[in-house]
Structure 1
């Protein structure tokens, strides 16, 4: 049996465990003794079960603490953390690419082409579809608004009828593409093309150009104080736009006659 001295020597101590037990004799009529009832171990270093003493040397952690500890290890597992970071990084990259692609599409397909429609509603103003333009090979966008306007000429035979002028426009585009340009070189062409070394421009051409220039200012394509030159004023010792045009450039808005004398005739 467990003596008093044992109890005093091995009494409850903080941080140890105790087994609650029962050494009741079996009720009358039962031949098998009752099994000792073991409860929660709370405090003790020695336990008496039946006729034997047991020394308890291992602490049992609280079940919830164990679960939390295991869960914590799962959450901070380096391998899983790395996989999570990689997944987030991949998602962010894809999201960026999708957003960039969508933005580029909106700019190229929706926003930028709208700049071709400058809101000029005149019977003599033709859009690309109107003159059956071929698809461009590429686009180079200028930073708007622009400061300078340059007047040149095509050098082709003049036209006056709608369909003959459309044919000249298509011919000009084919020629420009064939020489390595991405599209037709001029941003705008007069209704009547021509070689103004010999062809005489008509007054309507200058009136239409001025209407176009005013509209481009309104749309923010040109600065209000833009400056206009003939091509030969910038590329000295050349002919375009031709002497017949140079003689009348003063009819166009904001023309600057600087270096006019360096144009060939």
Structure 2
């Protein structure tokens, strides 16, 4: 604390008296100050608490807390090493983020500002290019080019089927009265090249595991095209007990409505299937009054799936009476060979 005795000492120093015994006052303590003739004193650390006035040499200054903090910060900043107690004692100045950025820009040189501007422009350009090419890639993957040798009728040669020698034909029961639908329960295909690849996979699987060709006479892809399997007048391997007297058509995909990733039946698939069957009538392989049915109506299977089966039930020649159930080919011919089916 500054006392009356301090004022007297101050007066003596101001009048040049007691110069040899001049003092500096800090923290309510008195320390001798060298005479004016002596070298200028160097005070490396001055900490003032609870005092408003202090002598530093021949000068009289007023020290406040703000001055103390500023001098402390300046001194600490000049040191390359900060002790824990030093940086904890440093005052914290919180600036809004935009003011902080503005201070950085204002205190930077023209060259630094230009360099930052160029870097920002390069970053923006890179982001724009990434977004652009990502969008282009997504569009390309969603809409791949779909080219096929024929608009809807794909032969074995077109999908690059492996050659296979057949020994059993359908001559004994042609023209046929029954078309049986199944599904392949395999991955979907929305373009020709993928559907052709899927047929090659199916053919390779059946040849290697069962030693026979792809079991269906024809297959319908999710691209709406009809693919030749074994073809007309060739006995298939699609429905046990009915292969010798029916045509088997397999829809690529899984059409069970109870599973989450089921396939959907399109009008294009149905229309082109009808076009195929009309071709069969025209070529003499099918009766004009032929009937269609799902494999599940003839045996213990979920094929062709509820979605496809419900679509077939809308056809006028769907066998709602299920008249072929538990009949073999000979009994079918004997019972319905000379009668009109609908």
Alignment TM-score, normalising by the size of structure 2: 0.39
- More strand per residue: 2
